[in-house]
């Protein structure tokens, strides 16, 4: 069994064939799929598909760093009300993105730190986006880690030093399609990271793994990611599935028990 810990199946790219997507996921032994929010514009569509597929799709609530603009405090206020309902299984997708636009860097940091406090308040894991900002996000999580903070560095593509820092603060690393790209050079890092800190994810519809690169990603492709992790670690995809599923249970316990 596999868990896709990060997918955006509520986006328009899946509006015409979601049932087919879910069927293929089931055939690929995907037990559960966790959906991180983007901003207030995606909340309704995310919750709607989770109601169609209960006990398989699980919503999370947060403000993506690329959606942090002048009105970010207003967006956060609405999301806080959503979290108050108790219907969510994580805080995110949040974090810092310095790849596309650095003009809202300080606002991104403020929004991220607000959501870190939410994760503590609601006792939920935090889902971290850290494009071109991995050192900064590690620093901020380390600063706020009080022993009760849990979460995952989504789409991890760092080096072994960054990997060990993340392990030291008790966080997980989400491995997705990027690790299948030759230029990513992730083999040695994946081989050396602790099996107890590893999660599988797709980030569908983005970052499709080889051999589907360039096409729309979907949850069933988690098997290709598991195969590549297994190759790097000289293990079997089945073993990687067992370990990553157990790790997902530790992180998202509310969804399993």
Could you report the per-residue pLDDT of 217-249, keeping only the tens digit for each?
999 999 999 999 999 999 999 999 999 999 999
User: For the chain, how many structural domains are there in total?
Assistant: 1
* Rounded mean pLDDT, 188-217: 98
* Rounded mean pLDDT, 134-148: 97
Compute the Cα dihedral for 171, 188, 224, 99 and give only its sign: positive
* Rounded mean pLDDT, 3-21: 98
Could you report the per-residue pLDDT of 39-80, keeping only the tens digit for each?
999 999 999 999 999 999 999 999 999 999 999 999 999 999
CATH number reported for the structural domain that contains residue 216 in this entry: 3.20.20.140
Query: Given a cut of 90, is residue 3 above it in pLDDT?
Result: yes
Could you report the per-residue pLDDT of 101-125, keeping only the tens digit for each?
899 999 999 999 999 999 999 999 9
pTM listed for this prediction: 0.98
Contacts of 97-101 spanning 24+ positions with Cβ under 8 A: 97/64, 97/65, 97/66, 97/129, 97/130, 97/131, 97/132, 97/133, 98/131, 98/132, 98/133, 98/136, 99/131, 99/132, 100/66, 100/131, 101/66
Average pLDDT along the chain: 97
Residue 257 pLDDT: 82
Domain range enclosing 59: 2-255
């Amino acid at each position: 069994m596999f868990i896709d810990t990060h997918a955006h199946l509520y986006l328009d790219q899946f509006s015409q064939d979601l049932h087919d997507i879910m069927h293929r996921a089931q055939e690929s032994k995907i037990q559960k799929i966790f959906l991180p929010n983007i901003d207030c514009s995606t909340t309704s569509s995310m919750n709607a598909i989770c109601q169609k597929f209960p006990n398989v799709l699980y919503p999370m609530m947060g403000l993506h760093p690329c959606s942090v603009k002048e009105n970010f405090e207003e967006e956060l206020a609405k999301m806080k009300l959503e979290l108050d309902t108790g219907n969510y299984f994580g805080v995110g997708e949040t974090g810092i993105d310095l790849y596309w636009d650095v003009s809202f860097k300080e606002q991104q940091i403020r929004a991220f730190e607000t959501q870190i406090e939410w994760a503590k308040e609601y006792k939920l894991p935090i889902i971290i986006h850290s494009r071109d900002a991995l050192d900064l996000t590690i620093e901020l999580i380390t600063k706020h880690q009080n022993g009760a903070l849990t979460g995952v560095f989504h789409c991890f593509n760092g080096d072994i030093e960054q990997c060990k820092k993340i392990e030291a603060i008790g966080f997980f690393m989400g491995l997705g399609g990027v690790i299948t790209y030759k230029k990513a050079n992730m083999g040695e890092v994946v081989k050396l990271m602790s099996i107890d800190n590893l999660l599988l994810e797709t980030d569908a519809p983005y970052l499709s793994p080889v051999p589907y690169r360039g096409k729309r990603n979907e949850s069933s492709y988690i098997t290709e990611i598991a195969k590549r992790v297994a190759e790097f670690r000289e293990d079997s995809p089945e073993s990687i599935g067992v370990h990553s599923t157990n790790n997902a249970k530790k992180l998202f316990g509310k969804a399993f028990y």
